[in-house]
Chains A and B, each alone.
Chain A
Amino acid sequence: GQQVKQSSPSLTVQEGGISILNCDYENDMFDYFAWYKKYPDNSPTLLISVRSNVDKREDGRLTVFLNKSGKHFSLHITASQPEDTAVYLCALLATGGNNKLTFGQGTVLSVIP
């Protein structure tokens, strides 16, 4: 089965609203949690990340929440803008080297004016 699941393939939010992107995982060995952002025809770029000893991190309009007991990781984008429209990929890493990130399938976020 899939180790990392983004259950919503797409999400549409009104400009100025809050976008909530969710990611669920199965493996207790993950200790690094990240969100990558991908525009069409571009490669993914790291947006924000946390280690497993952190359950919340804020960076401007972005906040990530890590619920280890529930194996749930989320990204909240406040005051969503049309330029936030992109594919968001959660990416998790288990300690052990080789930077083998396990990616979710991605959620297409559309922010409409």
Chain B
Amino acid sequence: AQTIHQWPVAEIKAVGSPLSLGCTIKGKSSPNLYWYWQATGGTLQQLFYSITVGQVESVVQLNLSASRPKDDQFILSTEKLLLSHSGFYLCAWSLGVNTGQLYFGEGSKLTVL
């Protein structure tokens, strides 16, 4: 069975500090991976997607970056956090690129002060 794990569960960070959120998928070879984000009171929106190792496409420009260093790992990061980065970050995987069915991780709650 496939499992998806995100870390950390929650972070409180200062404006201007760096950030790294991680996501690992087990039990699925070469998954399509995604980062979604929901600002407090906002809607879920896709930030990045990756079809294969080393390839990441940006969907929304939010001064964040993503990398896929391994087949089962997806990292979201920034060198300098903004207040507007606060929210809930969800990693997800899918079996194809146009299936519509996403399997989400537990999420990481980020508070920027």
Contacts and interface: CB of A to CB of B under 8 A. Distances in A.
Given A42-B106, A43-B106, A44-B104, A93 B98 contact: yes
Given A99-B98, A104-B43, A43 B59 contact: no
Contacts of B110: none
B46 A98 contact: yes
A95 B101 contact: no
B88 to A, nearest CB: 9
Contacts of A95: 98
B34 interface: yes
Interface in B9-66: 32, 34, 42-46, 49, 57, 59
A105 B32 contact: no
Given A43-B90, A98-B46, A103-B45, A91 B100 contact: yes
A4 B45 CA distance: 12
For the complex, would chain A's binding face be called helix, strand, loop or mixed by DSSP majority? loop
B94 A43 contact: no
Contacts, number: 59
Interface string A28-58: 0000101000000011111001000000000
Interface in B58-91: 59, 90
Given A44-B44, A104-B43, A32 B100 contact: yes
A71 interface: no
Given A43-B90, A43-B107, A49-B100, A98 B59 contact: yes
Given A32-B100, A98-B57, A98-B97, 8 more contacts: A44-B44, A46-B102, A93-B98, A97-B97, A99-B32, A99-B99, A101-B46, A101-B100
Pick the 3 closest A-B CB pairs, nearest first. Answer: A43-B104, A32-B100, A103-B44
